[in-house]
Amino acid sequence: MDAGSYPLLEGIDDPAHLRELPEHQLPRLATQLREFLLESVARSGGHLAAGLGAVELTIALHYILQTPHDRLVWDVGHQCYPHKILTGRRGVIGRIRRSDGPAGFPSRQESDYDTFGVGHSSTAISAALGMALAARAQGSRRKTCAVIGDGGLTAGEAFEALNHAGDVRPDLLVVLNDNEMSISENVGALNRTFARMLSGGLYGNLREEGKRVLEQMPAPMREFAKRAEEHVKGMLVPGTFFEELGFQYFGPVDGHDVGELVRVLRRLRALEGPRLLHVVTRKGKGYPRAEANPIAYHGVKAFDPAAGLGSGGGSGPPTYTEVFGRWLCDMAELEPRLWGITPAMREGSGLVEFARRFPGRYLDTGIAEQHAVTLAGGLACEGARPVLAIYSTFLQRGYDQLIHDIALQNLPVLFALDRAGLVGADGPTHHGAFDLSYLRCLPNMTVMVPADENECRQMLYTGHLHKGPAAVRYPRGRGPGVTPSGPMTPLAIGRAEVRRHGSGLALLAFGSMVAPAEAVAEALDATVVNMRFVKPLDRDTVLAMAAEHPALVTLEENVIGGGAGSAILETLAAAGVQRPVLQLGLPDRFVGHGERDELLTAVGLDAPGIEQRIRQWRRQYVEAPE
Ligand SMILES: Cc1ncc(C[n+]2csc(CCOP(=O)(O)OP(=O)(O)O)c2C)c(N)n1
Ligand SMILES: CC(=O)[C@@H](O)[C@H](O)COP(=O)(O)O
Ligand SMILES: [Mg+2]
């Protein structure tokens, strides 16, 4: 930040300083905060459009709420960069999501102002409700506020929390930040109702007419008239939906009018009971390129704000996501029963082309992973061949549905699990660290892990043909660069592939670990097996490797606990085979944020780290056992 270019912002090291500003300076502060945010994220990369849209709201919330004494809980938290800038992290925001910088989402260990750790959506109201009930039980007068977006409101947990709050009636303020966007265009009937009412002529005219009339009123009447206007507007938009849930509904309010927000929030803070303030904002506000294309500017790499984002479509081999997206379209051409489903991640999961070409078989459920899983099951019951594209970490949201609705009924649903393993900048809330453990323990599941992009395509095809539930898990970004080619041929279920023969020891590698295993094989005189299937495991190959080698090493980009290596240990134990086995994988802790390669090195899953750990272990436990 060039000294002096943001004079108001530079004077704010915490919200107490903000609250010393006279109200009339807040619009100028908003301008500086927005410009600083754009300049910073254009350099660092990260989430941009949501934060641009939340600048005035963030200022008003910290201006009126006595944070951190009053609790402010953000939903998802990707819009929290203005919040972090105003709460003492202006100096480090330029390193956001780097291993030496702040997390990309609110994090309790990072700041007292980050009252609840988020990253997965739709948790804020539940957490805030818990905090509000605790305040009531403690006889505290502190206030609790949750800020949730219209996308966040498409998830079941948000409704569960609203329904419960309306019943137990805490002192809780929910702010709905409605910009009609999720990452892509928001979906859902409630969203459609909002959009219809807020864009409707009647509401728009009333708001403009109301402003004109108010301006001509003497000041004392203006406050009363404002309230009257709010209630009249409240009758035009689905406030009743929230009032049926026990909330007092206020708004809609212009989410970029910081004075209006301060006035309304000041009133609402003084009230008690469940209140919902409906705020209308524009995602990407203040940066025309982001306003025009909020999808592209939801999450960005470093870019030049003057030129905007690059043309995209990087050169080089396709990413795993692109391999999946192309396979899905190719397969949909051949198989009319194929459906593509995403829980609000069309772009991230590679479904843009599929959605364009096969709109009748494309479903975006909104942020509703539980529903998406069971929906796929219903389709499968009727002979459809659904493919659920879902991040590994987000499938955690639909785990009971996976067990109860899909695996138990042995329904042919294919799960394309993207972002498996360490994702990098998004950190522990988004790493796909657990899916091999949580999938392989389920009866009827087939779990495949491709070593490269071509194998990914073959596995997707194999899973599609399979008569029961199947999952293919692949990492964020690119693999070893084996571009898919040739016809799709199904793999033999449960068969591994021996890539290299050695005599020293056998490296039994899964997915992204095959490449580094091959890189160290010669130095270790090791056999390398591309295991391909975590379930069903290739038992014959495992036992043969144990018979032919003095020791085994398993390698996986999943937690060791209950993962693929554990499946191998179970196989050896069941066969009464005793062999030294070293399990390499993710540690039994949450791995932080940073560049993916940097994190893999930090947990010893890059080639040098793998070689070093094997040599050390072999010396200690194989060559000179006590
Ligand atoms: C459980 C879960 N599913 C999916 C996501 C991915 N995701 C991050 S932000 C977002 C859209 C959120 O929309 P909204 O709440 O309206 O916030 P906005 O970006 O519009 O400000 C999604 C789907 C997530 N973080 N958590
Ligand atoms: C906030 C959120 O959950 C998403 O925006 C997520 O950060 C997307 O991750 P990718 O960048 O890996 O698609
Ligand atoms: Mg939104």
Ligand 2 pocket, 48 CB below 6 A? Answer: no
| pLDDT of amino acid 624 | 77
Pick the CATH number of 499-622 from 3.40.50.920, 3.30.420.40, 3.30.930.10, 3.40.30.10: 3.40.50.920
**Could you tell me where the beta strands, DSSP code E, fall in 446-599?**
446-448, 470-473, 497-500, 505-509, 526-530, 533-535, 552-559, 581-586
Q: Which two tokens stand for residue 169?
A: 């009636």
pLDDT attached to residue 232: 66
Distance 183 CA to ligand 1 centre (A): 6
Helix (H, G, I), strand (E, B) or coil at 583: strand
The pLDDT score that the predictor gives to residue 239 is 82
79 lines ligand 1 (CB under 6 A): yes
Please compute the mean of the pLDDT values over residues 426-437 and round it to a whole number. 98
Q: With a cut of 60, say whether residue 1 has pLDDT above it.
A: no
Pick the more confident residue, 315 or 48: 48
**Per-residue pLDDT, 191:** 86
pLDDT value, residue 205: 63
What is the CATH number assigned to the segment(s) 7-300? 3.40.50.970
The pLDDT assigned to 201 comes to: 58
CATH architecture group of domain 320-473: 3-Layer(aba) Sandwich (3.40)
Measured by CA distance, the residue closest to atom 23 of ligand 1 is 344
Residue-level pLDDT at 209: 66
Nearest CA to ligand 1 atom 4: 367
The H or E element containing residue 581 is strand 581-586
To the query of whether residue 369 is one of the catalytic residues in this protein, the response is yes
Please work out whether the CB of residue 181 comes within 6 Å of at least one atom of ligand 1. Answer: yes
Residue owning tokens 């702040």: 102
C-beta atoms surrounding 400 within 10 Å: 11
Q: Is 397 a catalytic residue?
A: yes
The pLDDT of 254-264, averaged and rounded, is 98
19 belongs to the catalytic site: no
> Near ion ligand 3, which residues have CB within 5 Å?
149-151, 179, 181
β-bridge mates for residue 299, sequence order: 47
- The per-residue pLDDT for 198 is 72
**Which of these, 276, 300, 52, lies nearest to 181 by C-alpha position?**
52
Instruction: Check residue 5 and give its pLDDT.
Output: 87
CA distance 114 to 133: 19
Ligand 1: centre distance to CA 510 (Å)? 31
Rounded percentage of the chain residues whose pLDDT exceeds 70? 92
Q: Is the ipTM of this complex over 0.85?
A: yes
Alpha carbon of 354 to ligand 1 centroid (Å): 21
Closest ligand 2 atom, CA of 105?
A: 1
Residue 290 Cβ contacting ligand 1 at under 6 Å: no
- Sign of the Cα torsion 518, 519, 520, 524 reads positive
For 307-317, the pLDDT digits (tens) are: 999 865 667 89
| CATH 3.40.50.920-classified regions of the chain | 499-622
pLDDT, position 59: 99
- CB-ligand 1 contact for 62 (6 Å cutoff): no
Distance, in Å, from the CA atom of 151 to the CA atom of 120, rounded to the nearest integer, reads 12
Relative to the alpha carbon of 295, which ligand is closest? 1
Do 413 and 376 form a contact (C-beta atoms < 8 A)?
A: yes
Most informative mutation of 76, 154, 342 for ligand 1 (most atoms within 8 A of CB): 76
* pLDDT tens digits for range 488-525: 999 999 999 999 999 899 999 999 999 999 999 999 99
Q: Which of 295, 430, 474 to mutate to test the pocket of ligand 2 (most atoms within 8 A of CB)?
A: 430
CA-to-CA distance for 282 and 180, rounded, in angstroms? 8
- Residue with tokens 């890059």, as numbered in its chain: 606
Question: Using an 8 Å Cβ cutoff, are 40 and 70 in contact?
Answer: no
Whether the bond into 536 is cis, omega within 30 of 0: yes
Average pLDDT, the chain: 94
Residues of the chain with CATH 3.40.50.970: 7-300, 320-473
> CA 478, CA 323: separation in Å to the nearest integer?
10
**Choice among 56, 157, 230, 369 that is catalytic:** 369
> Does the beta carbon of 342 sit less than 6 angstroms from any atom of ligand 1?
no
End-to-end CA gap in the chain: 60
344 CA distance to ligand 3 centroid (A)?
Answer: 11
Cα 443 to Cα 445: distance, rounded to the nearest angstrom: 6
Rounded to whole angstroms, the Cα distance separating 408 from 445 reads 9
User: Ligand 1 centre and the CA of 213: distance in Å?
Assistant: 38
Which ligand lies nearest the alpha carbon of 393?
Answer: 1
CB 372 within 8 A of CB 344: no
Q: Is the CB of 423 under 6 A from ligand 2?
A: yes
Q: Which atom of ligand 2 is nearest to the CA of 426?
A: 7
| CA-nearest residue, atom 16 of ligand 1 | 151
Reported as a pLDDT band with limits 50, 70 and 90, residue 456 is very high
User: Residue 141: pLDDT above 70?
Assistant: yes
**Catalytic one among 97, 283, 346, 440?**
283
- Say what the pLDDT of residue 238 is: 65
Cβ 419 under 6 angstroms from ligand 2: yes
DSSP E strands in 242-329: the ranges are 248-254, 274-280, 299-300
Among all ligands shown, which has an atom nearest to the Cα of 426? 2
Query: In the structure, what pLDDT confidence band is assigned to residue 4 with cuts at 50, 70 and 90?
Result: low
What would the mean pLDDT of 186-202 be, rounded to a whole number?
A: 78
Q: What is the mean pLDDT of residues 270-274?
A: 97
CA distance 262 to 204: 22
pLDDT of residue 207: 60
Binding-site sequence positions for Mg(2+):
150, 179
* Confidence band for 197, pLDDT divided at 50, 70 and 90: confident
345 Cα–ligand 2 center, Å: 9
Ligand 2: residue whose CA is nearest its atom 13: 348
Ligand 2 site, residue 348, Cβ cutoff 6 A: yes
Element (H, E) at 74: strand 71-74
Residue 417: helix, strand or coil by DSSP? strand
**Ligand 1 pocket check for 151: Cβ under 6 Å:** yes
Tell me the pLDDT tens digit for each residue of 345-401: 999 999 999 999 999 999 999 999 999 999 999 999 999 999 999 999 999 999 999
What is the tens place of the pLDDT at every residue in 56-79?
999 999 999 999 999 999 999 999
Ligand 1 atom at shortest distance from the alpha carbon of 153: 15
CA of 460 to the centre of ligand 1 (A): 27
| Residues 201-230: tens digit of each pLDDT | 555 666 666 666 666 777 776 667 666 666
Q: CB neighbours of 153 closer than 8 A, spacing ≥ 6?
A: 122, 159, 176, 190, 191
The per-residue pLDDT for 214 is: 63
**Do 470 and 445 contact (CB within 8 A), yes or no?**
yes
Cβ of 255 closer than 6 Å to ligand 1, yes or no, is no
CA distance 617 to 57: 55
Cα–Cα distances (Å) from 200 to 276, 280, 417, 624, in that order, read 22, 14, 40, 79
